A and B are shown apart, each in its own frame.
Chain A
Amino acid sequence: SQQGEEDPQALSIQEGENATMNCSYKTSINNLQWYRQNSGRGLVHLILIRSNEREKHSGRLRVTLDTSKKSSSLLITASRAADTASYFCATDDDKIIFGKGTRLHILP
């Protein structure tokens, strides 16, 4: 079964706005990772947050982790057209398990 579940399934926003995606998971984790996938391509690793961290930044990305709620959020600030992609969270138990992703579409 899927370990990570992203929400929403799809999101359309205007260029320049912020995009927030959420991820919930079921069991305890060592770390949680976010990946981006452009249409039909491989996944690109964006950011990893460890279970003892609450927030992490990387450029325009901000990730939060709430282990008590078993949830994480990915915030992309000042969105650009190039951010249009699917975003996946993945948890690392004994193997990495992905959710079904959030499809983000940035409108010009």
Chain B
Amino acid sequence: KAGVTQTPRYLIKTRGQQVTLSCSPISGHRSVSWYQQTPGQGLQFLFEYFSETQRNKGNFPGRFSGRQFSNSRSEMNVSTLELGDSALYLCASSPGYGYTFGSGTRLTVV
């Protein structure tokens, strides 16, 4: 079966712009979580969605937002990009325990 698909794989944006990242979970998985990975901070939890509802949220500013659609696909949006937002953004889907990760979107803010 298909894995978790994240698009795009790579993205370069300018400070002040906004960006939308997409994640398609494994079919049947209703939980989708997002993580930011940077060399300095490691893997930081952003938020989790389950059945179109945000179930958990990490300690990120309001510039980071997300949503989940009825087909469980999820998007995350970052507005007013800052240089420090450059990171690998990982999405993971779960049927209830154990997570399957996508390959990530590498965002570079210049």
Contact = CB atoms under 8 A, between A and B. Distances in A.
Interface of A: 2, 31, 33, 35, 40-45, 48, 88, 90, 92, 94-101
Chain B CB within 10 Å, residue with most, of A2, A44, A95, A100: A95
Contacts of B33: 95-96
Contacts of B48: 95
A43 B97 contact: no
Contacts of B99: 33, 35, 43, 45, 90, 96
**Chain A interface SS verdict (over half):** strand
**Chain B interface SS verdict (over half):** strand
A102 B90 CA distance: 19
Given A95-B56, A96-B33, A41 B45 contact: no
A43 B104 CA distance: 9
A45 to B, nearest CB: 5
Nearest to A97: B45
A42 B98 contact: no
B42 A100 contact: yes
A98 B43 CA distance: 6
A46 B83 CA distance: 33
Given A42-B4, A42-B101, A94 B90 contact: no
Chain B CB within 10 Å, residue with most, of A42, A43, A96: A42
B32 interface: no
B15 to A, nearest CB: 23
Contacts of B92: 43, 96
A42 B99 CA distance: 11
A88 B35 CA distance: 14
19 contacts: A31-B97, A35-B101, A40-B88, A40-B106, A41-B103, A41-B104, A42-B4, A42-B90, A42-B101, A43-B92, A45-B98, A48-B98, A90-B99, A96-B45, A96-B99, A98-B45, A100-B42, A101-B42, A101-B43
